[in-house]
Amino acid sequence: MNVAKKITVSVISDLTTDQRVIRISNCLQEMGFDVTVIARCFNNSLPLDTYLFKAQRIHCIFKKGMLQYAEFNIKLFFKLLFIKTDYLLANDLDTLLPNYILHKWRRKKLFYDTHEYFTGVPELSQKPLKRRIWKALENYIFPKLPVVYTVNNSVKNTYQKEYGNHLQVVRNVPVTQSITPINIPTAWQHKTIILLQGAGINEGRGGMELLQAMQILPDEYLLLMIGSGNQWEAIAAKRIQLNLQHKVVMLNKLPPAQLKQYTAIAHVGLSLDSFEDLNCLYNLPNKVFDYIHATVPIIATAIPEVKAIIEAYHVGITITNNEPETIATAIQQLFADQQQYQQLKINCSKAATLLCWENEQHQLIKIYEPFL
């Protein structure tokens, strides 16, 4: 009787809203691996769901800054030191060091899933010392990594050019499923619902600019923001300062299944990454595919990966900056041409049959199948 190979997955998110890690871990379990995910528990973490794989979380005292990363990585190191496993899978640079050390010490095969161009995030652009620390860590470890994959070709090509590793691509596309929309609250009825969703509504993601665009748009438009991020509280405070409570609804992050029900009631989905930071420039957000699967046309800044999807499948329109005036104009223009709008919805429905996890998971299976 064959014993399943054990693989231990590390991620610094709380897992419950990390659709990429959930999808990949489910796929590995279905392939025949015995999967355990170690994630982090935050004060506002949702309860763990029921998964095909085993999951546990690390509680940390420190909530921000380098101390939170140091504490999590030290606790993760000791977890990994004593856990019985055949393989290690690190997600992003903020879990890589303990995995790499134990890959060497325990001679365990290490896989690395980099969800973004980590050292290009806006949060590090104004903090050169922190960026140098993360970059030094990446420079030391990345060229030695045996198996690396990432979310899109922009990140892949950048890392390949920088370090010489061969990377593969596994995109963040959803599983095809039937979605039952929520019952639209009375106050939202007869409104045009603009949606911005995501667990990373951070600096450089356009949330503040979209809020300011609501000052320009007439009252027939309602902005729905769902998620979290390092700009979430600042946006919430600005919403009150600008007296936009009647036009802007903010909901804290939701479990993926519930989030999809809200996505389905939107009339347009926004993705507003800036062009200034490399991580934003090379991004291909989950929400783009979530909008497509909900047949919600997209307005997005024309960063390369998002622009390529929108133009290839004709599922929305792109804009050249995320200034409030540009966003407001694009929204009004989208709804001014109802024939075009309905065609975009039809195109979303067609694109969803191609841009789905049922197709994309074969890229992941090719990576891991030799290790079964």
Three-class DSSP labels, the chain: CCCCCEEEEECCCCCCCCHHHHHHHHHHHHHCCEEEEEEEECCCCCCCCCCCCEEEEEECCCCCHHHHHHHHHHHHHHHHHHCCCCEEEEECHHHHHHHHHHHHHCCCEEEEEECCCHHHCHHHHCCHHHHHHHHHHHHHHHHHCCEEEECCHHHHHHHHHHHCCCEEECCCCCCCCCCCCCCCCHHHCCCEEEEEEECCCCCCCCHHHHHHHCCCCCCCEEEEEEECCCCHHHHHHHHHHCCCCCCEEEEECCCHHHHHHHHCCCCEEEECCCCCCHHHHCCCCHHHHHHHHCCCCEEEECCHHHHHHHHHHCCEEEECCCCHHHHHHHHHHHHHCHHHHHHHHHHHHHHHCCCCHHHHHHHHHHHHHHHC
- Residue 231 tokens, joined: 């700009």
State residue 159's pLDDT score.
Answer: 97
Buried b (16+ CB within 10 A) or exposed e, 178-189: eeeeeeeeeeee
| pLDDT mean over 99-125 | 92
Residue 262 lies in a domain: yes
Q: Is the pLDDT of residue 1 over 70?
A: no
Tell me the whole-structure pTM to 2 decimals: 0.93
CA 30, 295, 197 angle in degrees (round to 5)? 75
- Residue 130 CA to residue 119 CA, distance in Å, equals 9
CATH (domain of 229):
3.40.50.2000
Residues 121 and 241 in one domain: no
- Residue 365 tokens, joined: 């299976």
Residues 114 and 252 in one domain: no
- Residue 368 CA to residue 122 CA, distance in Å, equals 32
- Beta-strand relationship, 316-319 and 248-252: unpaired
Question: What band does 269 get if pLDDT is binned at 50, 70 and 90?
Answer: very high
Residues 165 and 213 in one domain: no
State residue 180's pLDDT score.
Answer: 93
Q: Is the pLDDT of residue 122 over 80?
A: no
Q: Is the pLDDT of residue 135 over 80?
A: yes
Q: Which carries the bigger pLDDT value, residue 45 or residue 64? A: 45
Contact 112, 9 (CB under 8 A): no
Direct distance between the N- and C-terminal alpha carbons of the chain, in angstroms, rounded to an integer: 14
Contact 266, 195 (CB under 8 A): yes
> How many CB atoms are located within 10 Å of the residue 322 CB?
24
Residue 31 phi, psi (nearest 5): -65, -25
Residue 1 lies in a domain: no
Smallest CA-to-CA distance from 294 within 370, 182, 199 is with 182
Residue 78 lies in a domain: yes
Residues 166 and 234 in one domain: no
Residues 323 and 361 in one domain: no
Residue 32 phi, psi (nearest 5): 125, 0
Domain boundaries, position 283: 186-352
**Average confidence score pLDDT of the chain:** 95
Residues 168 and 202 in one domain: no
Residues 362 and 334 in one domain: no
Edge-first strand order for the sheet with 192-198 is 248-252, 221-227, 192-198, 268-271, 298-301, 316-319
Residues 163 and 203 in one domain: no
Residues 38 and 151 in one domain: yes
Domain count, the chain: 2
- Residue 88 CA to residue 90 CA, distance in Å, equals 7
Residue 178 lies in a domain: no
pLDDT tens, position by position, 199-233: 789 888 999 999 999 999 999 999 999 999 889 99
Residue 180 lies in a domain: no
Residues 18 and 160 in one domain: yes
Contact 268, 331 (CB under 8 A): yes
Residue 331 lies in a domain: yes
State residue 121's pLDDT score.
Answer: 81
Residues 302 and 318 in one domain: yes
Residue with tokens 């290490």: 110
- Residue 271 CA to residue 258 CA, distance in Å, equals 20
What does each C-alpha distance from 232 to 119, 164, 200, 239, 322 come to in angstroms? 22, 37, 9, 11, 17
Residue 281 lies in a domain: yes
Residues 101 and 227 in one domain: no
State residue 366's pLDDT score.
Answer: 98
Q: Is the pLDDT of residue 140 over 70?
A: yes
Contact 193, 267 (CB under 8 A): yes
**Residue 168 CB partners (closer than 8 Å, separation 6+):** 148, 149, 150, 156, 363, 366, 367
Residue 364 lies in a domain: yes
